[in-house]
Amino acid sequence: MRTIAMIRRILTELLRDKRTLALMFAAPLLILTLLYFLFQGAGNTSADLAVQSVDDDLVSAMQVDGLHIHKIPERQTTDQSSNYTERIIRDNDYAGFLCQNDGSLHLTLAGADEAQSGLILESLKAAQAELSGKAASATIASQAAALTQLESTVAALTSRLQTLSGGRTGTSTGLPQASIDAKGGEPTNRPSMATTPSSVTVDYLYGSKHSTFFDTLVPIMMGFVIFFFVFLISGISLLHERATGTLARLLATPIRRHEIVNGYPIGYGIVAIVQTAVVVGYTIVVFKTQILGNVWNVLLLNLMIAGTALTLGLLVSAFAATEFQMMQFIPIVVIPQIFFSGIIPVASMPGWLRTIAHVTPLYWGSRAMSDVVEKGANLAQIAPNLGVLLTFILVFLGLNILAMRKYRRI
């Protein structure tokens, strides 16, 4: 009964606080929308490539979306400047420069944007695959020779690109030269032109070719934004109660400590249910996120994540004297959790980091969420993770009741 009075009071207060309501419901949607556009755009890379004296067949085979090919006139024999290629790229802000000297192709990449370099290399590979199919039927000696060289060029360039992306440091020219002469390239043991498959069909077990990084991010970020805002608001509200003296006043009534401590998770839990429903509904309707698993499992998981955030927020607020001190817990308690939530694969982390990952609630929550959304995991498969989250909630609740002893011993 007293718990009900607590819940009713918490909800009434919250409904009157329009700003906090807006923070709880609008802010998560804002962040998710921003992410949506940020990572949706990542697939639309465009690159400018300059070509010089390259076979028309190859150039037309290289045409892909986003790649703009600019044919530039033959180099003047009088122009002997050593930085000719560099100048062309720099003056026109091209991503690459491809030229052909007799049978050999020479590609220079600006290397400033890996997505653009990747696009150029991919289109070269695609052109290779297409032309090799033609080459198999109507072998044109010169073209075949050029293609063999092209193949090794591409292979070398790919490995070169990987090296670049590993530790790209600015060279003295500012334009890293990813150029390899195909004639001087290492010998390749590729199968002969005739047996090279001319087309590749890609099937996806999960997701589709339209999947972007955002689809991977959605289940993780959904859990994170819910965790973040519920943590902040529940923690600050209990802190406010301590700071204004109403908590001490409450404890001068016959209320039990656990009735106070339970009132908060239940009151804010009701808000969290609504918030979770709004966030999940938004991702489904607006982002058209495909949830392979049961949507109720998604809601349940989000609710459990909200529960850990709630109880953790309440607990942490016991160690803060002001709202500002509460904010100081965010970089310690909340931000590190995002690193363990699956954006960076935890399996590739060093052992001691993996141990830390296992004590963060979001690690368990986000993994299960990704499994449900992307792999269609059922309730039985996520049950262990739900169990861990429930344990977190119960431990935090128990500690909260103990922390309340600071105010009243009974």
323 scored as a contact of other proteins (CB under 8 A): no
Complex with other proteins: residue 4 or 286, whichever CB lies closer: 4
Site for other proteins in 186-245 (CB under 8 A): 244-245
For residues 54-77, one letter each, b for 16 or more C-beta atoms within 10 angstroms of the residue's C-beta and e for the rest, the string is bbebbbebbeeeebebeeeeeeee
254 scored as a contact of other proteins (CB under 8 A): yes
Mark residues 388-407: x for contact with other proteins by CB under 8 A, - for none.
-------------------x
Q: Which of 246, 322, 325, 355 binds other proteins (CB under 8 A)?
A: 246
Closest CA to 123 of 21, 45, 204, 182: 45
Residue 173 has a CB neighbour count (10 Å cut-off) of: 10
Listed ranges 125-133, 215-223, 251-259, 314-322: which one lies at the site for other proteins (CB under 8 A): 251-259
Listed ranges 1-9, 121-129, 217-225, 366-374: which one lies at the site for other proteins (CB under 8 A): 1-9
251 scored as a contact of other proteins (CB under 8 A): yes
Listed ranges 11-19, 35-43, 100-108, 186-194: which one lies at the site for other proteins (CB under 8 A): 11-19
Question: In the complex, what is the shortest distance from the CB of residue 317 to other proteins, in angstroms, rounded to a whole number?
Answer: 17
Distance CA 50, CA 92 (A): 9
Distance CA 88, CA 44 (A): 24
Tokens 């039990």 map to which residue? 256
Complex with other proteins: residue 31 or 243, whichever CB lies closer: 243
Complex with other proteins: residue 209 or 406, whichever CB lies closer: 406
1 scored as a contact of other proteins (CB under 8 A): yes
249 scored as a contact of other proteins (CB under 8 A): yes
Residues 6+ apart with CB under 8 A from 262: 3, 6, 397
Complex with other proteins: residue 248 or 383, whichever CB lies closer: 248
Complex with other proteins: residue 73 or 245, whichever CB lies closer: 245
Closest CA to 51 of 127, 145, 115: 127
Q: Which of 250, 280, 306, 389 binds other proteins (CB under 8 A)?
A: 250
Question: In the complex, what is the shortest distance from the CB of residue 234 to other proteins, in angstroms, rounded to a whole number?
Answer: 16
Listed ranges 8-16, 187-195, 217-225, 377-385: which one lies at the site for other proteins (CB under 8 A): 8-16
Question: In the complex, what is the shortest distance from the CB of residue 400 to other proteins, in angstroms, rounded to a whole number?
Answer: 18
322 scored as a contact of other proteins (CB under 8 A): no
Q: Which of 200, 205, 252, 347 binds other proteins (CB under 8 A)?
A: 252
Cβ atoms 323, 239 nearer than 8 A: yes
369 scored as a contact of other proteins (CB under 8 A): no
248 scored as a contact of other proteins (CB under 8 A): yes
Q: Report phi then psi at 68, rounded to 5.
A: -105, 120
Question: In the complex, what is the shortest distance from the CB of residue 256 to other proteins, in angstroms, rounded to a whole number?
Answer: 7
CA 182 to chain centre: 37
Question: In the complex, what is the shortest distance from the CB of residue 311 to other proteins, in angstroms, rounded to a whole number?
Answer: 22
18 scored as a contact of other proteins (CB under 8 A): no
Distance CA 200, CA 380 (A): 37
Distance CA 68, CA 46 (A): 7
User: How many of the chain's residues bind other proteins (CB under 8 A)?
Assistant: 25
Complex with other proteins: residue 42 or 321, whichever CB lies closer: 321
Question: In the complex, what is the shortest distance from the CB of residue 271 to other proteins, in angstroms, rounded to a whole number?
Answer: 15
Question: In the complex, what is the shortest distance from the CB of residue 16 to other proteins, in angstroms, rounded to a whole number?
Answer: 4
Question: In the complex, what is the shortest distance from the CB of residue 14 to other proteins, in angstroms, rounded to a whole number?
Answer: 8
Angle between helices 361-375 and 295-317 (to 10 degrees): 170
Tokens 């363990």 map to which residue? 340
Binding residues vs other proteins (CB under 8 A): 1-2, 5, 8-9, 12-13, 16-17, 244-246, 248-256, 407-410
